[in-house]
Amino acid sequence: MEKEHDKPAGSRRMEILQQSPADKQAANTDSPSENRNINGYGSFLPLPDFGLQGQDLTAFKASWLSAVESLPAAIEKQQERLAAAGIDDTGLTEYGRETDSGKRSGITTEMTQQRLADITRHIENLRDGNIRPSAYIGSGYKNPRQTAFEAMARDMVETQAVLSPHIPYYDDINVNNYLRRQLEAERQEPQRPSEKHYSEKIIDSAQRSPEAAAEALEVLPAPHLCTSERFAEYAWVVPSDTARRWEVRWPEATEYGMNRAFSDEATPEGAVKDVHRRTVNNRLYLATGNGTKEPEKSQLPPENVLAEYPELSALYMPKSLSERLQTAKQEYERLLAGGNDTDRKLGRFMESGMEALAKGLPEQTQLQVRVNFYENLISRINGKGEPERTPEQQELFAER
């Protein structure tokens, strides 16, 4: 019989990677008790050697050690969440098996293994200069390369901890799913309305694969294509175990069959509304180029969705110059009609001067001159002073 220490290097690790999260609990019972204390996990998470040098190695190593040191607190937090609900964590073993077999929705061992492989690939590509740091962490960081290596180290520690049979740490999504199901079973709530119950079934199946999510989206509209009320019928809200208050999920054809967003609103209902508004905002931002171009109607949310957020329409789809001129001139005429003869004569005199100034300018520039004139005078008459000018308006006034 082959002994454990006689196996080739890497063989044991491969067995660990191939185990399901459900098998981890049983494996943990055979681990030495000291492996569970605050200093015990480092032996199962040795610092990997990617051939990093200099500041790259310094950043990666410091973040790795910090993540390992923080792991007991993360494990304790998961246990506290379950304990606070009066739920034993032993059921996570069976839940893990059911997730891997496809009976339950969640993050499977295969998905976690793929994530580990993806992180490894990003580390090697960044090391070799094949990608930029933004490919992993996005943009906007003061020291992007250092930040990227720090983020990849943290993510790798978390992913390896989920895969290790010696560490009682589970993917947060699976913990949330398990906690929700256990609480619902204990409450024995009555059957939900058929449509909402059907939507939940679709979400469960959608989380298993992008193909299933694509099928789900044929039934459930994307958030920006439906009202917030309809979105609330199929979105699922769970308490977030991050620094945010809520996590809102919905089906989408992604790697995990769903999308998610976070919210700090006071209630689950408020979180759904908040996330829905942000999805509509994002769609308008993309469709209008942040308000710089005329969007195609097919790219916009439906009218009934836009009606929920008039401030977003005003932000990304402002009135054209012609519409603004018509509105401003009507208001200007109304204000002049309410004044005395002297006011009206002065108003007409200034108006004729503006027209003389605009004469000969390009048509679009004439429109801008007239809009600026009427809007500024309206503000002065109403006692508000001059409105803040856009950069385009400032340039126009400087030129004249």
Report how far residue 352's alpha carbon sits from residue 345's, in angstroms, rounded to the nearest whole number.
11
52-70: b or e for each residue (b if 16 or more CB lie within 10 Å)? Answer: beeebbebbeebbeebbee
Q: Report pLDDT digits (tens) over 285-340.
A: 888 887 767 778 888 899 899 999 988 888 887 667 777 888 888 888 898 888 88
Report how far residue 315's alpha carbon sits from residue 292's, in angstroms, rounded to the nearest whole number.
11
Q: How far is CA 197 from CA 96, 99, 306, in A?
A: 23, 20, 28
Q: Report pLDDT digits (tens) over 70-85.
A: 999 988 888 887 777 6
Task: Write down the pLDDT at residue 86.
Answer: 67
Task: Write down the pLDDT at residue 246.
Answer: 87
Give the three-class secondary structure for 163: helix
Query: Is-contact 241 176, C-beta < 8 A?
Result: yes
**Angle at the Cα of 355 (from 354 to 356), degrees rounded to 5?**
90
Q: Report pLDDT digits (tens) over 183-208.
A: 656 544 443 333 334 445 455 555 55
Give the rounded percent of residues in the chain with a pLDDT score beyond 90.
22
Q: Report pLDDT digits (tens) over 22-70.
A: 444 444 433 333 333 434 788 889 999 999 999 999 999 999 999 999 9
- What is the model's pTM? 0.42
State yes or no: pLDDT of 346 exceeds 60: yes
Query: Is-contact 253 275, C-beta < 8 A?
Result: no
Report how far residue 259's alpha carbon sits from residue 27's, in angstroms, rounded to the nearest whole number.
32
Task: Write down the pLDDT at residue 219.
Answer: 59
Query: Is-contact 163 16, C-beta < 8 A?
Result: yes
Query: Is-contact 126 145, C-beta < 8 A?
Result: yes
Task: Write down the pLDDT at residue 372.
Answer: 87
Question: If you average pLDDT over residues 269-293, what whole number do you get?
Answer: 87
Question: If you average pLDDT over residues 273-290, what whole number do you get?
Answer: 89
Helix (H) or strand (E) holding 354: helix 341-358
DSSP state of 210: H
Q: Which amino acid would we find at residue 69?
A: E
User: What pLDDT band is residue 159 in, cutting at 50, 70 and 90?
Assistant: very high
Q: Report pLDDT digits (tens) over 102-151.
A: 777 678 888 889 989 999 999 999 999 999 998 888 878 889 999 999 99
